[in-house]
Structure formats: structure tokens, C-alpha cells
Amino acid sequence: MKESEKQNLYETFNAVINSIIAEKKQNEKYDDLLNELDAKINLGLQITEDYYFWVNLVGKNGDVKLNRGKLDEYDLELKAAPEDLMYYSNGENSLLHMMFKKNTYGNRKLRFSKGTTGMNFGLLLKLPKILVLD
């Protein structure tokens, strides 16, 4: 994958996440959810059968940022194809759908593992509330 393609993928994914977060910040009912999010999440976007493009989502004090690269210390690690995460974040695919259906590479659409800071699987349940528009 060329660097320009990687940058384009990052910018597209970043725009989607930022627009969802911006919309949530405009609605007071999400203030507590965003302010309580204290997480570092590695997201592996599966581009080919054996290549992952890594980004990280960091939330602290109501500020949620997406950056390129993989964090050394993180609370949760997710792996999925970009289109599957897009469908997940826009609400088309549920968490159960993502956990049990296969992607085009034969893997589950959403795979996760604990982070270096311990077993933070509660974030897996909180993440849809942040990334999904109502």
C-alpha cells in the first residue's frame, strides 16, 4: 500500500470519526459519556489478508482524537476491515453482527484483545455508544 493511499485512508476514517464525535458534542445527553471516556484504543484496519493499517483512538476529559500508528500502552485493541468499522460506526451493523459474521478475508468482522493496561473489555461495550449515531 502506497503512502498516499495510507494517508487517504487515515483522512477518510478520521473525518468519519470526527464528524460523529462533533455531532455527539452538540447533544447534551452525551456530555457524561464523552467526559467519562478515558481510553487508549488501538484500531487495526485490515487492508489485505495479512496487512493492518494501525490507528489509535485516545479519549480523555471529553476530547477524543484519532491518530496514526499503534500505541505501546493501550486499554483495548480492535481489528476489523475499514468498511466493517464504517458500517459499525454508522449503526448499520450491530456489535453482535460484527462479532459473529465473517469479513471478506475469512476473519470475524470485529476481533478484540485486552490491552497492556489489563482487561478493559467494558470499553468494548462503551465504544458503540461513542461511535454510533442515534
Whole-number Å distance between alpha carbons of 28 and 97: 29
* C-alpha distance from residue 33 to each of 2, 27, 71, 99, 129 (Å): 37, 11, 23, 23, 8
Task: Give pLDDT tens digits along the chain (134 positions).
Answer: 889 999 998 998 899 888 888 998 998 988 888 898 899 999 999 999 999 999 999 999 889 999 999 999 999 999 999 889 878 877 788 888 998 999 999 999 999 888 888 777 788 778 877 877 66
Q: What is the pLDDT of residues 67-105, one digit of tens each?
A: 999 999 999 999 999 889 878 877 788 888 998 999 999
- Sorted by where each starts, the structural domains of the chain and their CATH numbers stand as 3-131 (3.30.1050.10)
Under 8 Å between Cβ of 65 and 73 = no
**Residue (of 96, 99, 56, 103) closest to 76 by Cα position:** 56
Under 8 Å between Cβ of 6 and 53 = yes
Whole-number Å distance between alpha carbons of 37 and 24: 13
pTM above 0.85, yes or no: yes
